[in-house]
Structure 1
């Protein structure tokens, strides 16, 4: 990259992120609540994470560890300050109430009723801080007949309709290897917080100088259900129960995973003009020009024939050749990436989607970059994940104990 084409670094204020000055208190553990806190922190919010004494957030011990701490922790808790408080004690709860009175946002993902049992419900916290936005993430939401049931992402993905569609027809459903329900709920929670901040800013008045806060109630199953596209209206209109379809995309053709000589490739040829280019590239002009295949509905009716034609071409070629030929004629195609492919991909690096940090215990570690990318006020990794209780004295030292 030449100097004249190098990106101009943002001014110092912008480098702090668009949420600089926002103070967030994170009480949640594991995935959904902390992922929401991570996302706000990535864009400049000051996130104070409350952890229980002893082991702290259980995520510190999940999956692969380095020097006794999960490397996952290094992603989930970057840009946060760790404060140890025992919420089972009145002293710990008093400190939380005092901190919440100074914060803009509080995040919790406990079972509904837990915060109220601790004397930390929205009525109590809102009395001390009317502008507080309380993000509450739970399996089934704060109301309804299922509110008191324990809820994990694995159950939410099933109740939300996703799990039924995952896998091969006639076989038991499979799960994605990550907790999609938690992450989807966290992202919906972040959207809710940003909307509530906008509403709070619009409600500023002499009686409410900081504006009015509110509760953002996110249920894991609802976050999953919100992403289920045409599932419900198709059932409502036609009585159609959508079934699993393996690697294909039902009702949209052709879009599938195709065998190659040395692996598999994903090909999406489901636009009308894209389909014609795809058929020309694989040497099937007859299928490209067939009148009944000019639109998606006709292709869906003959999808087995189309998939067989594509497979007959791909199976004779290595993945790299298949992808190169199709990309050259603007047909979306790609290999099935493992993390090894991701780590080696120059596009990831060019987009700064892989960043190198050095953890508190000295490990040089590649971690995911910041999403989304903002041109003027980008997010950043300002601090690495904290050790347990690293900031307890810093945060509480000016407060009577």
Structure 2
């Protein structure tokens, strides 16, 4: 579906919300992208070319490029406006201050203290705009003994407990292949902004006609840690340090990846009734009716036996056959998708998760669709990602000198 020139079919949830994005690369801009998808006007401030650099957000130059610009840029900066300002100069900071005075939300993911050094800390900005919500994304947060350390997702995933669990037992940890720490922080940041907007609405008064804003402090490592499920409670209660387990999910059985004659599948048979259906489907009625395996605790004790039974059945069948049999039995099962599998999948297409946009020079690029799906005020892609400084004149002409 090509969406380059298709307007939203109804008002968007965040229409009228003004956002200034000072962040670069992934975490802050992903939060901005999510707000923009639902109608917020996001003005991205980018640095000019200097010292041999091409200028702009470094993500413009990351990974695979088309005519000098990353195709990833079409995802991360869709629906945004690009304004070039040099925040290292008094003039640039004064201009962005005027933009912030008219904004609802400011997103920044600089090292803590950077905005304060520029005279743009929250205490200063909120004097002229008390309704301002400032989303601050950093490696370790705005407080604490590590606040001044540089923080990237790779380190946050390690400190948050995720990296230690990723990989096979006895082997070095592996990364997921994408910057999960950044994305998790961005999503927590969006949640924080929406909470702060609700609180601002509730604080409207004669003295604060717009309501009162606040700071949303998001740390990458905390965003990862918040998703670590039973990691800390099990250590606190039992002294158990959870270990890497490859594709299995320790303590929950059966849930694993299994070999097929032409590939692999993942199977989640860990519900009690699902387990019975799975065992019957693979011809192991003896395990389906075994009273020791009726509940998860008993299955965990015999997980190696269960995995061996499932693997023996899948290994002599094609992936398609395994999918057909287990889907018919209402057992959660799936192939392990590559990008090519995603692009060809009819469910992705039916859910409008494969959208197409055009670059300024006419290249058609597929990008992920809008998440989540809202029934009355859905998100939309209304603009392609901007060229560097494309909107500088138009945006700055609207503010008072």
Q: TM-score, normalised by structure 2?
A: 0.96
1:260 is the counterpart of 2:255: no
C-alpha separation in 2, matches of 1:266 and 1:379: 32
C-alpha separation in 2, matches of 1:345 and 1:324: 16
1:376 is the counterpart of 2:376: yes
What does 1:1-400 correspond to in 2, within 5 Å? 15-54=10-49, 55-399=55-399
Structure 1 stretches of 4+ moved >2 Å: 12-16, 398-401
Residue ranges of structure 2 left out of the alignment (5+ in a row)? 1-6, 50-54
CA contact (8 A) 2:82 2:392 kept: yes
C-alpha separation in 2, matches of 1:393 and 1:332: 53
Q: TM-score, normalised by structure 1?
A: 0.96
CA contact (8 A) 1:80 1:383 kept: yes
CA contact (8 A) 1:28 1:109 kept: yes
Q: Cα offset for 1:15? A: 2.6
Q: Cα offset for 1:400? A: 5.8
C-alpha separation in 2, matches of 1:95 and 1:259: 59
Against the structure 1 CA distance between its residues 278 and 263, is the aligned structure 2 distance closer, same or farther, given a 3 Å change threshold?
Answer: same
Q: How many residues align?
A: 390
Deviation string, structure 1 residues 228-260 (Cα, Å, up to 9, x no partner): 001111111111100000000110000000000
Residue ranges of structure 1 left out of the alignment (5+ in a row)? 1-11
Query: Helix, strand or coil for the counterpart of 2:266?
Result: strand
Against the structure 1 CA distance between its residues 206 and 388, is the aligned structure 2 distance closer, same or farther, given a 3 Å change threshold?
Answer: same
C-alpha separation in 2, matches of 1:172 and 1:361: 44
Give the number of the structure with larger relative contact order, counting CA–CA contacts within 8 Å between residues 6 or more apart: 2
C-alpha separation in 1, matches of 2:180 and 2:348: 22
**1:8 matched to which residue of 2?**
none
C-alpha separation in 2, matches of 1:216 and 1:316: 53
CA contact (8 A) 2:323 2:333 kept: yes
Query: Helix, strand or coil for the counterpart of 1:366?
Result: strand
Deviation string, structure 1 residues 109-162 (Cα, Å, up to 9, x no partner): 000000001111101110110000000000000000000000000000000000
C-alpha separation in 2, matches of 1:201 and 1:390: 33
C-alpha separation in 1, matches of 2:372 and 2:96: 31
Q: Give the CA RMSD over aligned residues.
A: 1.0
CA contact (8 A) 2:166 2:173 kept: yes
CA contact (8 A) 2:257 2:267 kept: yes
Structure 1 stretch 354-363 or stretch 269-278: which is displaced more?
Answer: 354-363
CA contact (8 A) 1:247 1:257 kept: yes
C-alpha separation in 2, matches of 1:15 and 1:119: 40
CA contact (8 A) 1:15 1:379 kept: no
Q: Cα offset for 1:376? A: 0.6
